[in-house]
Amino acid sequence: MTRVLSVTSECVPLVKTGGLADVAGALPGALAPLGVEMRTLLPGYPAVMGAISGGETHDLGKVFGAPARLVTGLLGETRLYALDAPHLFDRSGGPYLGPNGRDWPDNPVRYAALSLVAARIATEGVGDWVPDVLHCHDWQAGIAPLYARESGAKAASVLTIHNVAFQGLAPAAMRETLRLPESGYTSEGFEYWGQISALKAGMLWSDAITTVSPTYAAELLTPEFGMGLDGVLRARANVLTGILNGIDLEAWSPPYKSPRGKARHTAALRQEFDLPESDGPLCVVISRLTEQKGLDMLLDALPALLDQGGQLALLGSGDARLEAAFRQAALRHAGVAVRIGYDEALSKRMIAGGDAILVPSRFEPCGLTQLYGLRYGTLPVVAMTGGLADTVINASPAGLDAGCATGLQVLPITTAALAGALTKLCALWRDRTVWQTMMKNAMAQPVGWDRSAAAYRDLYEALTGPR
């Protein structure tokens, strides 16, 4: 049995802002049948403490200036550790942003505390449980491998990069506050353009680095996608691996067994969004509204869809300008309906009722919505980047002739190419035989955790030896 401590700032169903939470929530259960005991360390946000209060506690003394405890509990069958440090985590707002929508100014200290306690567990254990592997997710746990190395921990360390755009930067003057060694503040260490980078520290002090798709792993080695850290990753390319995310097949299970069952859900979705009947595909978007997600391009490409009878139902929030622009599009076009916000139950109804799901991201480390689309036979139209490129089989002439296509890929990632893909989507939708074949192909794709969990198990064993 390999023991792994997963260190994360998010975990479903307790706290979520993105795909990191889904991965952190799914991995322990996916790994358990493979002989891996994964326990999860989370910050003691109010939602976390409310879920596991009453568990066993361990006094940690002062952590960055005030008393803290480690509280244990269960989430389903997963053992959780919560860092109960009220001075750092007992506050309203999101995990990273205050009620004013801005980063908490002490975020570097908050997540350094999470990393410091992770390193302490890796060194001393909790009771008689000592991890063999310290698995750190994103910059919020990025300093943990360095702290663990400094404390003499024997556990191997893995850093998973979910999105390199978020690097956990802190002013250089905080080095002593964060208890970082002076020797590490160099261009070959955790220094990044005159600041401290928690993510860079994780890249350099971990024994292995993973990211969430093979294509994104290759993209990270380039200046276009590496966000200034491509050189660091090229130097460590021998320990970098891309392992695709999966989805929870029970949580995301379509309410029909075959493509024929979708029709009534499509009709129900049109009614819910007050969309008229149409002779084109009903496309859905469920996304943060940002330029990274390519939604400005979608606005410009919309005529290619609407002019052929296609429709759009959108659920999301984010950039105020994009929110306003999509609202205006809904006012101008009867075939466009918009809901600002997020509602998981509604998102499932949209994926069940949509004919296609649009994911035109300029970059996308893995992406989960296209996997949900495949699972539900809601054909993905995706930019050819990151995990989108790895999970969707393009309806190219070869893909259609071979009978294996599951969606459409957009390349280059431009408005014109997206418009062309939407035009092609409408043509494919009108050929019901081809469309039904593509839906069946999509629903047959393996999108769960089986293969990915095995890849993580193999990585842990390569670092520690079989148990």
- Detail the residues annotated as belonging to a binding site for ADP-alpha-D-glucose: 16
Coil, helix or strand for 285? Answer: strand
CB atoms under 10 Å from CB of 397, counted, come to 9
How crowded is the C-beta side of 308, counted as CA atoms within 13 Å? 20
Output the six-digit token pair for 164: 């390199």
Coil, helix or strand for 31? Answer: helix
State how far the Cα of 273 lies from the Cα of 269, in Å rounded to an integer. 6
With beta carbons less than 8 A apart as the criterion, state whether 369 and 437 touch.
no
Output the six-digit token pair for 29: 């259960």
Question: 209: closest CA among 170, 159, 277, 266?
Answer: 159
State how far the Cα of 255 lies from the Cα of 59, in Å rounded to an integer. 47
Question: 222: closest CA among 168, 164, 169?
Answer: 164
Pseudo-torsion of CA 108, 110, 115, 117, nearest 10°? Answer: 150
Q: Strand 208-211 and strand 311-318: pairing?
A: unpaired
Burial 447-460 (b: 16+ CB within 10 A, else e): bbbeebbeebbebb
List binding-site positions. 16
